[in-house]
Each structure stands twice: as structure tokens, then as C-alpha cells.
Amino acid sequence: MGAHPYYYFVEYQPDIEAALQDLRQREFEAGRYNPAQAFPRFPIGPDSPAPGAKHEAIYEAIEDAAEDGTRSILDIETVSDWPDFNVASPFSESDLQRHFGTKQPTKEIVSRKLDFLGAIKRGHCVYIIVFAAGEPSEIFFGGYSFD
């Protein structure tokens, strides 16, 4: 079938782990994950389909999705300083500079240059602090599904 990219922008908060868990819960409750919705469409916005959770808990959705994964942020369990399966790790300063020409990219810049997602390994996720007027404003989470 092939892996699929996913990405989200969420309101900035200094606790990246809390932001990730809030996002996972929001997307679970909305039902924007495989198998509740086979191929969620990105970007997620106010008009995005939200069929509602089809499982009692996130871990049940992950088990039901099996080797395909949920094709969503639900596959990402925690934040880590280093890239690995099922974790969100920071996009390095050198990667920020190389891909966006700045260490403080805006939402507009990140949204226009999503091609960097193709370099993310299956089952991995990165996060980027997004800036507006020189201050953190959002967190971008983006990754690739397992299959």
C-alpha cells in the first residue's frame, strides 16, 4: 500500500509532550485515524471530517490498525530528543536552516515547504516550533505512517 505523510499544527505550549498528548487525544476523539477513517486527509482544519472514535482507547485503535498503523499522530507515543519509531523528535537547527532558510520558520514557510516530509522514515515523526512575530506560536508535528 505504501506509507502516507501526516501533519498537524497545534497551538504552542512549552511542554511539547503535553501538546503531543493533547493532539493524540483530539484526533482519537475525532476519529481521524485508520481504521476509523482509512485515509485521513491533511491538512486538518475546522471542516475536516470527524466521524468520531470507533474504539474505546487509543491503544485499541493502534492494535486494530496492525502493521498499517493509524496513518496519524496516534502512532506517536511520546517525545524524544532522538529520532526513533513511535516518537516525535525535534527537527534539528541545521535542518531548519537548510530546509526553511531560518531557525524560526513561520507557519507560511513550513506549509509551503512540506517536501521535507519525504525524508522522514516510516513510523517516525518530527516537531518544529513555528514562529509569528519572532515568538513561538504553534508546534508542527509531521511524520510518515508505517505502511
Q: List the one residue out of 95, 86, 89 whose CA is nearest residue 115.
A: 95
Q: What is the pLDDT of residues 59-114, one digit of tens each?
A: 999 999 998 899 999 999 999 999 999 999 999 999 999 999 999 999 999 999 99
**Sign of the alpha-carbon dihedral angle for 75, 87, 26, 114:** negative
Q: Is 123 left (phi over 0), alpha (psi -120 to 50) or beta?
A: left
What is the value of pTM for the model shown? 0.95
Question: Strands (DSSP E) along 3-146, which ranges?
Answer: 5-11, 78-79, 87-90, 125-132, 135-144
Q: What is the pLDDT of residues 127-140, one digit of tens each?
A: 999 999 999 999 99
pLDDT value, residue 98: 96
Confidence of residue 1 (pLDDT cuts 50, 70, 90): low
Q: What is the pLDDT of residues 18-73, one digit of tens each?
A: 999 999 999 999 999 999 999 999 999 889 999 999 999 999 999 999 988 999 99
